[in-house]
Structure 1
Amino acid sequence: MTSDIEIRNETSDDIAAIAAVTIAAFRDLEISNQTEHVIIDALRAAEALALSLVAVVDGRVVGHIAFSPVTLSDGTRDWYGLGPVSVLPQVQRRGIGQALVREGLSRLRRMQARGCCLVGHPEYYRRFGFENCPQLVLEGVPPEVFFAVSFDGTLPRGTVAFREGFGAVGPSSCANEV
């Protein structure tokens, strides 16, 4: 299916569809607090979405991925956090998520990013070059689910802080529209 997928930057017309895709993708996941759509809204409102891509199949938004800047305690700059990434449940396991991650990482490299980190499933993200890095810590997150990939061959040391939007809770205006 990956050849039928168009990956493009989000537009304002995509916001409700992104919320719907994200809500559907995380609805039945036990590890989720179902706030992922609120996080995206908060990042967008803070103008912290450095990269926000949608996957479109047959003219319909079926996936989304967000990247936002992170802060590193050692002062290293130009690192980003990946997430959330969402794909409609009925079209999962067809390469849409992979296409979003690959395109997002490619675009980050073109933006001169130095690296990217995330919280996620070990089996999934290793295929994109992400590794557990003991020298990087995200407080409150088990190290086995925290991953990073360096684009310039150097890994920073210290504590990573994701944008404030990741602490978002409660309903968003966009979620109420879907």
Structure 2
Amino acid sequence: MQIRLERPEDIAAIQSLITAAFKEMPYGSQTEGAVADALRSAGALILSLIAIEDGEIIGHVAFSPVAISGATNGWYGLGPVSVRPDRQGRGIGQALIREGLARLRDMNAQGCVVLGDPGYYSRFGFISDPGLRYGDVPPEYFQRLGFTGIVPEGEVVFHPGFDAT
């Protein structure tokens, strides 16, 4: 498996992958593909990686900037993460997330936040932090991973692309 940055010619396949990956997910909103497209169109898809095997895209992960207490300060949001349904549970999503987090560190990012299963995301070092809030989401499902010793506090706001429907 190879992991690389997305290219313009990958976009249609990424869209199909995201749609298929979330189609049967009980927590999916079926807007994940629109979110990725809206972030891309707005120039806010800071890091978009794909996993390729045998010439086919089998996974995708996106990272975009977030604001904390109204300031953009080098923090990013992880998501959506998508893996082709017939390839889920084989470590592809993990590999994409690990590579993405490493690249964010190389970009001198301050940290990353994610909304998701704490049992899954804790393996990457994400923790719940009562100092960071995201709407009325239960705090255990909103997590952060700081890359430096500086962790801001306040309300986290994702890019407006996340409001795509």
2:64 is aligned with 1:68: yes
2:101 is aligned with 1:105: yes
Out of 129, 143, 150, the residue aligned to residue 147 of structure 1 is 143
Please give the alpha-carbon distance, in whole angstroms, between the structure 2 residues aligned to 1:149 and 1:62.
26
For the residue of structure 1 that corresponds to 2:73, the secondary structure is coil
Residue of structure 1 equivalent to 2:48 = 52
Using the size of structure 1 for normalisation, the TM-score is 0.90
Residue of structure 2 equivalent to 1:134 = 130
Residue of structure 1 equivalent to 2:81 = 85
Q: Which runs of 4+ in 1 moved over 6 A?
A: none
For the residue of structure 1 that corresponds to 2:81, the secondary structure is strand
More strand by share: 2
Task: Considering Cα pairs closer than 8 Å and 6+ residues apart, tell me whether 1 or 2 has the greater RCO.
Answer: 1
For the residue of structure 2 that corresponds to 1:71, the secondary structure is strand
Q: How many residues get paired?
A: 165
Instruction: Show structure 1 runs of 5+ residues with no match.
Output: 170-178
Residue of structure 2 equivalent to 1:43 = 39
For the residue of structure 2 that corresponds to 1:141, the secondary structure is coil
One-letter amino acid of the counterpart of residue 95, structure 1: G
Aligned 1:1-40 pairs, distance under 5 A = 5-40=1-36
Cα deviation per residue 1:26-60 (whole Å; 9 max; x = unaligned)?
00111111000000000000000000000001110
How many angstroms does 1:140 deviate by?
A: 2.9
Go from structure 1 to structure 2 and tell me whether the alpha carbon gap of 1:163 and 1:93 turns closer, same or farther (over 3 Å shift): same
How many angstroms does 1:154 deviate by?
A: 2.3
How many angstroms does 1:74 deviate by?
A: 6.3
Using the size of structure 2 for normalisation, the TM-score is 0.97
Instruction: Show structure 2 runs of 5+ residues with no match.
Output: none
Cα deviation per residue 1:138-159 (whole Å; 9 max; x = unaligned)?
1132212101000002221000
Structural RMSD (CA): 1.0
Please give the alpha-carbon distance, in whole angstroms, between the structure 2 residues aligned to 1:156 and 1:122.
20
Identity of aligned residues (%): 54
Please give the alpha-carbon distance, in whole angstroms, between the structure 2 residues aligned to 1:159 and 1:59.
41
Please give the alpha-carbon distance, in whole angstroms, between the structure 1 residues aligned to 2:20 and 2:72.
35
How many angstroms does 1:123 deviate by?
A: 1.0
